[in-house]
Structure 1
Amino acid sequence: MEKIVIGIDISAKTLDICIKKCGSYSFNVIANEAKAIKVFFKIFQEPKSEIIVSMENTGRYNWELYQVLEYFNFKVFVLNPLHLKKSIGLIRGKNDKIDAKRICEFTEKHEKELIEWKPCSDNIKKIKVLFSERNSKIKLRASLLKQRHLYSQLESIGYDSKFLKMNKKEIEVLEKHIDFLENEIEQLIDNDSDLYSKKQCIQSIPGVGKVLSWMIIAKTEGFTKINNPRKLACYAGVVPFGYQSGTSIKFKPKLSYYADKSLKTVLHMAAMRAVRLENDLKIYYHRKISDGKNKMAVLNAVRNKIIHRIFAIIRTGKLYEKNYNNSLFLS
């Protein structure tokens, strides 16, 4: 069977495409629109060919491709841009055409190690889109709040109060938008019986609120994309890694910089809340602190424990029990 590898470099308006077939390369540039993408991929509907399509994860710029690729029987890979960047070694110069070729070559070389992309459910798609929009609104609100302390410097020219009023109005509008987006996410989850039951289970864990439950459902795609607590803990950046070389270089294990920062932040807030409530995590936290452990290291352990508890109750389908006794352990 003939293998055709297609590497796609994505931008807001165009797709630069590299096609490797029979050892030779060809290049195309098309619009990043569903109609143009459909026309392009119809050429490759050959029954005796194995089509491999690969692209970087660029957030919302991938959406048009995702919509079209659902209807084709291709093997699709969505690459982590950092993984690709770190793997190609020392390079000089770049452009979209070269990037498409590098994606093509990387995919052909590492195909066996990569995880194949699968389309998620319509509800998960909508939740991801809403969450992305919510995050952008929250960043804008944070930026506006930071501007407030600068307005005191404009008092001498009489613009401080005027700018402050404008700032307050803009924040009020953003807060209304955020409320609307959060209500939409909540309704989508509540109207899906499977996602609703998972949300209820997750929120039964001490310290875990609605935002973390939404985020976990979106990131794991309803626990289908990530179905292992260790993978999610690594993805969230709460797993310490060692650093050792020979006999002279050896550092204590520490958290990796490569992590989903938004998920890590929300997990940290959940851990902070959990150690203030009456539950086993609070007991664990204070016991470790009294033993002389570093507070941040213990909090990170609490974050890790929250992730493992989430997967445990999703596996059993039962709400979290505060004083749970394992019958197998007791026997």
Structure 2
Amino acid sequence: MKNYKEVVGIDVSKNTIDAYCYQSQVHREFVNDIVGYKSLLKWVLKTTKGVAVFYCFENTGYYSLKLALYLDSQKVIYVEESPLKIKRSSGIVKEKTDKLDAALIARYAWLYREELKPSQVKSKSHLELGRLLALRDLLVRNNAGLKGTLKEMKVLLSSPTTDTGCIVLKRSIDYQEKQVKSIEERIKEIISADALMSKNYELLTSLKGIGLVVACQLIYHTGNFTRFASWRAFSSYCGTAPFEHRSGTSIYKRKQCHYLGDRKMKSLLSMASVSAIQHDSELRLYYNRKLAEGKDKMLAINNVRNKLIARAFAVVKRGTPYVVLQQYAA
């Protein structure tokens, strides 16, 4: 991005977007819809007088997705960056306005323009896969809450089978379970329709402990294994990679996982690791060996998590299913 002469920082909110041209130091607010996006491009073209310009905005989920889709359709170069990176590069900021946020985004993009790379919109199948996975997670959590409420009510009532509240809760639980199954069927259809995703899905599910949900989450978060250069980079993204913490001769702590990471992915990998320890003899021996070395259970579980991540990237890179070598040992 170093050949660009201007950058437009955009602060995206639900109804409006605030744009700030860093070199021209001008600001303007637009509506967060197609009409506003068209007005934005016209205003930038008039303000910058045709110089090479790129856009930068924070990834704010559905709010920024509309803008990204429009810019991509118009072949406009843009960078969709993590809000945390921009916030930590801004220094001490005591004021909070949309105009100031847009200016800080523009400043960040200009200072780091040589390191930034253009963003691309994910395919429709990837976007739908992400939405369905999020919706499934929401329904499962809601259903768990309903089951807990039903369990408590059964303890208090002498005849839970005739109580209206219990009957309604049972119907709601059954209905949501049907909806979860329908979402899973649609997820399988999306995976089957894409040859690359289907192949990687088959490779991932050859690993013990990795099923439908974990495999699909891995495919989605890794951009079908194109987003991260190595399994270690993805481990860092999930928050399972240990990092050193020392300074001089007085501060020296054991390696620990950083608190920043994708907690949902980390939680799924934890459950996958527990399942893998139960059903995979190699990982079970590996886990027990770590315990025998004096490591606590959570640290040993984290080692298994990283083993699973490494195996997932390995089978995708090789293009062959995982083979348990222990069964061929003499």
TM-score where L is the length of structure 2: 0.87
Task: Spell out the pairing of 1:259-274 with structure 2 (5 A cutoff).
Answer: 259-274=261-276
**Pairing 1:32–2:32 present:** yes
Partners of 1:104 and 1:5 in 2: CA distance: 6
Partners of 1:220 and 1:181 in 2: CA distance: 21
Structure 2 partner of 1:254: 256
Query: Which of the residues 271, 295, 313 maps onto 1:311?
Result: 313
SS at match of 2:20: strand
Figure out how many residues of one structure are paired with residues of the other and give that number: 321
Aligned letter for 1:120? K
Partners of 2:6 and 2:148 in 1: CA distance: 51
Change (3 A) 1:187 1:105: same
Residues 214 and 269 in structure 2, CA contact (< 8 A), matched pair in contact too: yes
User: Which sits farther off after the overlay, 106-115 or 258-267?
Assistant: 106-115
User: Which sits farther off after the overlay, 72-81 or 210-219?
Assistant: 72-81
Structure 2 partner of 1:292: 294
Aligned letter for 1:92? K
Partners of 2:273 and 2:254 in 1: CA distance: 23
Aligned letter for 2:142? L
**Pairing 1:15–2:14 present:** no
Query: Which of the residues 195, 199, 202 maps onto 1:200?
Result: 202
Structure 1 partner of 2:86: 84
Change (3 A) 1:290 1:179: same
Aligned letter for 2:63? Y
Aligned letter for 1:25? Q
User: Which sits farther off after the overlay, 122-131 or 255-264?
Assistant: 122-131
Residues 127 and 218 in structure 1, CA contact (< 8 A), matched pair in contact too: yes
Change (3 A) 1:251 1:179: same
1:180 Cα offset (Å): 2.1
Partners of 1:2 and 1:195 in 2: CA distance: 35
Structure 1 partner of 2:227: 225
Structure 2 partner of 1:158: none
**Pairing 1:235–2:237 present:** yes
Partners of 1:141 and 1:227 in 2: CA distance: 37
SS at match of 2:17: strand
Partners of 1:251 and 1:93 in 2: CA distance: 36
Partners of 1:224 and 1:204 in 2: CA distance: 20
Show CA shifts across 1:188-235 (max 9, x none): 001212111110001101111111110011111111222421111100
Change (3 A) 1:101 1:279: same
Partners of 2:213 and 2:182 in 1: CA distance: 14
Task: Spell out the pairing of 1:151-166 with structure 2 (5 A cutoff).
Answer: 161-166=163-168
Structure 2 partner of 1:329: none
Partners of 1:130 and 1:188 in 2: CA distance: 10
Partners of 1:166 and 1:89 in 2: CA distance: 53
User: Which sits farther off after the overlay, 252-261 or 128-137?
Assistant: 128-137
Partners of 1:272 and 1:279 in 2: CA distance: 12
Structure 2 partner of 1:214: 216
Partners of 2:171 and 2:295 in 1: CA distance: 46
Change (3 A) 1:162 1:247: farther
Show CA shifts across 1:7-36 (max 9, x none): 11111222122123xx32222222222343
User: Which sits farther off after the overlay, 110-119 or 232-241?
Assistant: 110-119
1:136 Cα offset (Å): 3.0
Change (3 A) 1:289 1:53: same
1:262 Cα offset (Å): 0.6
Residues 282 and 326 in structure 2, CA contact (< 8 A), matched pair in contact too: no
Change (3 A) 1:82 1:163: farther
Structure 2 partner of 1:61: 63
Aligned letter for 2:27? F
Show CA shifts across 1:141-190 (max 9, x none): 344445557768998xxxxx554444444333333332222211111001
Contiguous gaps of at least 5 residues in structure 1: 156-160, 327-331
Partners of 1:206 and 1:37 in 2: CA distance: 47
Query: Which of the residues 172, 193, 200 maps onto 1:191?
Result: 193
Partners of 1:112 and 1:146 in 2: CA distance: 53
1:119 Cα offset (Å): 2.2
Change (3 A) 1:94 1:151: farther
Partners of 1:153 and 1:112 in 2: CA distance: 63
Contiguous gaps of at least 5 residues in structure 2: 158-162
Change (3 A) 1:27 1:316: same
1:115 Cα offset (Å): 3.7
Residues 206 and 279 in structure 1, CA contact (< 8 A), matched pair in contact too: no
Aligned letter for 1:24? S
Aligned letter for 2:72? E
Structure 1 partner of 2:114: 112
Change (3 A) 1:308 1:41: same
Q: Percent identity?
A: 29
